[in-house]
Structure 1
């Protein structure tokens, strides 16, 4: 047996409580080495780079599977080992590169020369069964990427925004004809953001979309449920030009539901649904409620991608307002998750993630020493969205951003990252990885968003406001592209960082994102790790995509 993965101690915030009960059933996933992941990455860039002759010619599921499936030798070797130990495995991904087994703790300890224990998350009291080391036969190390969950500690995911109730008089004020700051943007948008503010700030059209095949997916986790009555109240107040009965389609997996008891509505879920339906006028929206059958936050992140890869009419855009500190996951697990996004991107889905709300400290307190990037936001195959506030836009202090410790700088942003690091000199030296993928990619308003929740109206802040808003903009662009007989945008970043793409963004040069007892990074001319390339202008984006 050879040690396959190990870590010296659990992730920050977790403590070992006891040995795991021997009879406790564990569901473990075995990631097999893909046949040609580098080939898939090359193919993704070919169909995503506007300078490529293959731009827009998204791959088929069969083409993607050919890149990521395990070799016959790998599958045979691992299957034989499991059979020798009387363990049945089933594939859980379309390409068969991920297997799942269920065995008691006692057998898992023996199979993997491990010591599975109960670990407690100090702040919440939630428990997880993990090990700090496991081994596999040396002959299988070339075939097996990792076992999960083993060394990755996924704290309760997401940071649900705080809801601040708005007095009725204030709520009414933003629906009136406030005196505009410019020809388009009402002064009220300096204090409260509504769909009308976003439409004015970013030139977003209000005319309904026409293409029913162009869907927008909204990911829901941690028992966050989107309430239809709250949506109706929101549309009645803030989108009087469309039917207040406009709603969403529900899709569930891993035991997910969408309870409609109004008092159980989720602030995050309501926000995401209200600012997709309320901004992406007429685009069909699907709320994808991921349950907790896997008892592990990461399983749901993988399962939603697997589910969508299997679909023939998958969403053209998927927005997610949840994530992890990068250091919570081991590098192999993080790579596997990122590679799953690569697969979905190659199929033509734009993946939008909020960058996080802890500045440079991720979800940690100011006691951190080194800056903490966030996942999946810093995966190079997704588009990370930061936050700004104010009509004269300034980077939000909470807007997470920085540089990955796991993922190298992708070619599409290499010049931007080099330029930024050169510009800040020795500031924050040693606290971040100068060779890592920089995030976020772009930014959108993320402060004082008015939503309806449990029959009240109030405001919330966070990059989880920004992500669904940007996803709505991309969905409206896709609608017009499909109507013109053109392919949807798919993986966005090579386009966004191109000379044509970046010209459609307003560069933000003010703001910092403090954390870890520092001022964090500073916004400046060009790309920066608070606001990315800046904030979008729909009219310019429309021209940039050839409409």
Structure 2
């Protein structure tokens, strides 16, 4: 996550007292190694008393069985479609075997570690330990690593386990992961934005009247996607949630100002939604403080809540703010965890018997900065939510196929490649791209430029790609193979033809009307299209509930089999990046806009069949 500079000086031991390397332990062998990503430098040994909140992922007993249930209840042609599993049923399927639990706990006790925390399904063990103990436990050494932008993390590129535990433990973090999931948005603008020279105003009189290309509002979205006039019927039953990381928190007075202007009558929603604090995540009801405004805090969180409430009110909203690192500022009296936030949030929400039916997340990072074992385990936890009937949406990114001049592998070989994102490439989530303009909509794009201070701002282009960790799931095999075939060798060697491809669908994502710190402006990104799509899907669920139907749940099997008919195909633009035009939008599915943008009445009609 890209956040404020982390002050980890207290975690850096003086070079004079670094001590000798950790002695290799008998019976241990390496469990995982991961290259330190480019732009990160080792700057010193971690202090022995620096506290690490360790999470140990135990092998789940029956994930294959859970996955079978997931696809059956998500396949519109299966007899079990919509018969989602309960909280208890999911936990029973993925809890570790007694043997796994006993062996891992015996190992911890043998190392003097007794005070353990457990996830709801007992598949994660959490414990806070000083670096010196973790180093002995995992036969490794932790150092402080600094990113070129100043962020710092305490990590190790390699760790080990007793040989007999390798098959019982999937992942342990924080160890090898340098993930810094960033919000997928471009900067807040208070000046007239760039407009494509080829832009043609809409001919539809209604769309022309309510849709302004330089500042797109909820009124435009309602008309463009045909939700105008729909009144939620069961808002007490149906909910939509969104995630905040990096110290982000939605600012209620800003949301009130936005809704009062752009969705009159809905402004009270700004003060109704609960703010769930996880792992000391922030919560506040008032305006930004002076320091928060200097740090430009809450641009992402404000965008999320304004995009959702602007389209789905009065559907109840739940805001999750998860602490963890980065950023965090440890001191001698306070220890804060350095965990990846997705895991912290997932273990919390999976422990709740009742969760929102749609959850929006506008954060992602380069897949290659995340150890594969950790990525696979987190992805499986998204599957657990899907089996319970929850639609999980992620942003596809804002840099096309990769940021220019950074498109190289992280395996020590420096191979030129497109750079996919995680969790965007997880097969159990629905990933959302961004569009712009109206008749027709095209791929969201803005060229790079120099700002008033002379700083170069990278191009913004809706993201798309193919995972290097996850293979193409069955539900999208045909459309992906067709798309790759039509590329006719273009970009061969730069992407994984057999990978999970994304996005799955898209929505408006450029120049959203927006309020931050009491100031009106516009903001862009798949961070905008993702909560907008989440709000529209929440309305679909409302209509399903009103007709005695279950919610959509894990969306993709339905989407790729029949739901795609309820979306407008986008055929112009591309996922520009890595110095090339990138994957192009074309007829049918493509890895830049998916199946396109929503037509609400058609989606509800298809979903009820």
Would the TM-score normalized by the shorter structure come out above 0.5? yes
Contact 2:396 2:431 in 1 (8 A): yes
Aligned to 2:316: 284
Structure 1 residues 193-238: Cα deviation after superposition (integer angstroms, max 9, x where no partner): 1001111111113443131121110111111121111111111211
Aligned to 2:443: 395
Report SS of the residue matched to 1:184: helix
Q: Which moved more, 1:385-394 or 1:247-256?
A: 247-256
Confirm whether residue 217 of structure 1 aligns to residue 241 of structure 2.
yes
Contact 2:239 2:317 in 1 (8 A): yes
Inter-partner Cα distance in structure 2 for 1:78 and 1:363: 44
Inter-partner Cα distance in structure 1 for 2:403 and 2:113: 39
Aligned residues: 533
Inter-partner Cα distance in structure 2 for 1:313 and 1:364: 45
Contact 1:210 1:282 in 2 (8 A): no
Aligned to 1:343: 384
Aligned to 1:140: 165
Aligned to 1:110: 136
The 1:203/1:156 distance shift into structure 2, 3 A limit, reads: closer
Aligned to 1:536: 598
* Equivalent position to 2:94, from 52, 55, 68: 68
* Equivalent position to 2:207, from 144, 162, 185: 185
The 1:374/1:235 distance shift into structure 2, 3 A limit, reads: same
Q: Which runs of 5 or more structure 1 residues have no equivalent in the other structure?
A: 171-178
Contact 1:184 1:201 in 2 (8 A): no
Confirm whether residue 203 of structure 1 aligns to residue 226 of structure 2.
yes
Inter-partner Cα distance in structure 1 for 2:569 and 2:85: 33
Aligned to 2:426: 379
* Equivalent position to 1:469, from 505, 520, 532: 532
Aligned to 1:252: 277
Inter-partner Cα distance in structure 1 for 2:238 and 2:313: 12
Confirm whether residue 460 of structure 1 aligns to residue 523 of structure 2.
yes
Computed over aligned residues only, the root mean square deviation of the Cα atoms, in angstroms, reads 1.9
Inter-partner Cα distance in structure 1 for 2:528 and 2:315: 18
Q: CA deviation at 1:257?
A: 2.1
Q: CA deviation at 1:421?
A: 0.3
* Equivalent position to 1:527, from 567, 576, 589: 589
Structure 1 residues 20-43: Cα deviation after superposition (integer angstroms, max 9, x where no partner): 112222221111111011111111
* Equivalent position to 2:417, from 351, 370, 382: 370
Contact 1:161 1:268 in 2 (8 A): no
Aligned to 2:179: 154
Inter-partner Cα distance in structure 2 for 1:411 and 1:328: 26
Q: CA deviation at 1:120?
A: 0.6
Aligned to 1:355: 396
Inter-partner Cα distance in structure 2 for 1:254 and 1:446: 31
Confirm whether residue 503 of structure 1 aligns to residue 565 of structure 2.
yes
Q: CA deviation at 1:112?
A: 1.6
Q: CA deviation at 1:159?
A: 4.4
Report SS of the residue matched to 1:544: helix
Report SS of the residue matched to 1:361: coil
Contact 1:217 1:315 in 2 (8 A): yes
Contact 1:367 1:516 in 2 (8 A): no
Inter-partner Cα distance in structure 2 for 1:401 and 1:267: 23
Inter-partner Cα distance in structure 1 for 2:405 and 2:299: 22
The 1:334/1:95 distance shift into structure 2, 3 A limit, reads: same
Q: Which moved more, 1:391-400 or 1:503-512?
A: 391-400
Q: Which runs of 5 or more structure 2 residues have no equivalent in the other structure?
A: 1-27, 194-200, 329-336, 410-415, 446-460
Q: Which moved more, 1:81-90 or 1:347-356?
A: 81-90
Structure 1 residues 387-407: Cα deviation after superposition (integer angstroms, max 9, x where no partner): 111112111241111100000
Confirm whether residue 275 of structure 1 aligns to residue 338 of structure 2.
no
Report SS of the residue matched to 2:307: helix
Structure 1 residues 356-401: Cα deviation after superposition (integer angstroms, max 9, x where no partner): 1111116974677211111111111110000111112111241111
Aligned to 1:176: none
* Equivalent position to 1:19, from 33, 37, 45: 45
Q: CA deviation at 1:291?
A: 2.0
